[in-house]
Structure formats: structure tokens, C-alpha cells
Amino acid sequence: MSSNCLFCQIVNKKASGEFLYEDNDFVVFKDIHPAAPVHLLLVPKKHIRSINDLKKEDEAIISGLFMIAADMAKKTGVNESGYKLLFNVEKGGGQVIFHLHLHLIGGWPRIDGWKK
Ligand code: AMP
Ligand code: ZN
């Protein structure tokens, strides 16, 4: 845990956050400023600054994030309509919280012109 990291504090329940999913290694909660009707943050409990800082031993974290993403897409009902998965990497990539997390974004209203 990095004591000045907001997501470490949320993961360790030292800051408020309602988890939609939790296991030994990950938590999922809603983004506080949603960019779409469904906007979840999938967060490993281990403090890793960004994708740039991954080590070989972190492979299971990356695969775990994608498995949980597929599961959460089903649970939130966006799996069939579609969604985006996004890692922002470092400041130029739009990262503002320097604790690795995967955005799951979807649930836009259906618009004319796209078929199921
Ligand atoms: P990033 O730009 O990839 O670092 O994304 C960080 C995300 O964390 C942003 O979309 C913020 O809206 C979100 N965020 C910041 N503080 C909180 C919080 N306390 N609870 C939930 N989401 C947060
Ligand atoms: Zn952290």
C-alpha cells in the first residue's frame, strides 16, 4: 500500500467507496465522474503505478482484470450492446490516479443506425 495513494486508501477501506465486486486481489467500484451510464473502475489491490511499471510477476493481474471486465460487463448488462476498456498511461495519456486501473465504459442509449 502506498499511503498517499487514493486507490490504495479505497482498496484498504480507508476512504469511502462502494464495491460492486471484491476478491483477494481486485476491487471494482463506480467512477465518481462517470463518462457514460456505466463507468466502472477495475482496480488491483496491489499498488502498481501504471502499465509502464508491470513486472513479469504481474501477468495474473492483467489477465484477471480482463476476466473481471467480461464478468462485470455481463453483470451491468452492457456485454451485448458493447463497451470500451481503457488504460490511461501517465500524464500525457490522461492518467490522474497513479494506481493501475482499467476503465469499463458503456451503456450509451441505443442510436439509429446500429444493429444488435
Ligand atoms: P485516470 O484518468 O485513468 O487516472 O482515471 C482516474 C479516474 O478515477 C477518473 O475517471 C476519476 O473520475 C476517478 N476517480 C477519482 N476519484 C475517485 C473516487 N474517490 N471514487 C471513484 N472514482 C474516482
Ligand atoms: Zn495505490
**Can you tell me which atom of ligand 1 is nearest the CA of 15?**
19
Closest residue by Cα to atom 18, ligand 1, is 32
Residue 9, SS3? helix
**What's the rounded Cα separation, in Å, for the pair 63 and 58?**
9
Give mean pLDDT, residues 70-79.
98
Spell out the alpha helix ranges (H) of the chain: 6-11, 59-75
Confidence label for 54 from pLDDT (cuts 50, 70 and 90): very high
Of the chain, the percentage scoring pLDDT greater than 70 comes to 96
Distance 9 CA to ligand 2 centre (A): 7
- Domains of the chain, residue spans: 6-106
Q: What is the pLDDT of residues 86-111, one digit of tens each?
A: 999 999 999 999 999 999 999 998 77
- CATH class for the domain made up of 6-106: alpha beta
What is the predicted pLDDT for the residue at 112? Answer: 65
What is the predicted pLDDT for the residue at 1? Answer: 73
What is the predicted pLDDT for the residue at 114? Answer: 60
Whether residue 92 has its Cβ less than 6 Å from ligand 1: no
Q: What is the pLDDT of residues 21-52, one digit of tens each?
A: 999 999 999 999 999 999 999 999 999 999 99
Q: What is the pTM of this model?
A: 0.94
